[in-house]
């Protein structure tokens, strides 16, 4: 079972200057790799005259994470990996940081680049607000009319939201509830109906 984890509430941007180079760090919530790629392309479109758009992202959390990273033309290992290291140290998932650099004419050297990109990532992480993402699961079930009102009460007690219901020979319900509640919801329905109601988890 997936555990709840923290994700960014929304987009954050922090800018700072190092030796006349501007470093603009933009952070946001991304739930898929495709969303991360789209976010990176948005920054390139927004600031097409920038020297580099360095990025790192984490989709997922804990043992199920997809990561992406790019130096985007900076010397290998000096920019993307320091940003990713900051992300890995933050207790947050489904997150991307793009650090956009406008070169100011002064070369920073390897150590200077590592510090500048790492500092940009830390600054935008510090400005981020988070909320808890609770993994959800949809289940379907059919119930006799005599059970319908009691099933709705049990669903509400398990933080379930009714997505759809149809009325024919029986009532067919589709509900979404926290993944952590699925087993106790199933057990309560089985107890209510002497085993006749069996909700099916849907992908």
> In this structure, are residues 83 and 14 in contact, taking their beta carbons and an 8 Å threshold?
no
Cα dist. 203→2, 3, 62, 115, 136 in Å? 14, 17, 21, 44, 11
Cα(43)–Cα(99) distance, rounded to whole angstroms?
A: 9
pLDDT, one tens digit per residue, over 66-118 is 999 999 999 999 999 999 999 999 989 999 999 999 998 889 999 999 999 99
Amino acid 2: pLDDT: 67
pLDDT, one tens digit per residue, over 7-64 is 999 999 999 999 999 999 999 999 999 999 999 999 999 999 999 999 999 998 877 8
Side-chain-side CA neighbours of 186 within 13 Å: the count stands at 14
End-to-end CA distance of the chain: 14
3-state secondary structure 148-177: HHHHHHHHHHCCCEEEEEEECCCEEEEEEE
Domains along the chain? 5-133 (3.30.230.30), 136-202 (3.30.70.240)
């Amino acid at each position: 079972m997936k555990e709840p984890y923290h994700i960014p509430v929304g987009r954050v941007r922090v800018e700072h200057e190092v030796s006349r180079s501007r470093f603009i760090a933009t952070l946001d919530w991304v739930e898929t790799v495709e969303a991360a790629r789209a976010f990176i392309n948005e920054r390139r479109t927004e600031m097409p005259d920038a020297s580099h758009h360095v990025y790192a992202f984490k989709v997922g959390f804990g043992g199920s994470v997809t990561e992406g990273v790019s130096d985007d033309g900076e010397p290998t290992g000096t920019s993307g990996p320091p940003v990713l290291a900051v992300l890995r140290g933050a207790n947050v998932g489904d997150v991307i940081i793009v650090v956009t650099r406008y070169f100011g004419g002064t070369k920073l050297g390897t150590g200077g680049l590592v510090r500048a990109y790492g500092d940009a990532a830390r600054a935008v992480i510090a400005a981020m607000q988070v909320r808890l993402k609770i993994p959800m699961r949809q289940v379907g079930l059919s119930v006799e009319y005599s059970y319908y009102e009691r099933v709705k009460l049990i669903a509400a007690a398990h933080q379930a939201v009714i997505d759809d219901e149809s009325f024919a020979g029986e009532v067919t319900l589709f509900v979404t509830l926290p993944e952590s509640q699925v087993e106790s919801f199933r057990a309560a329905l089985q107890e209510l109906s002497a085993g006749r109601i069996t909700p099916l988890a849907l992908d």
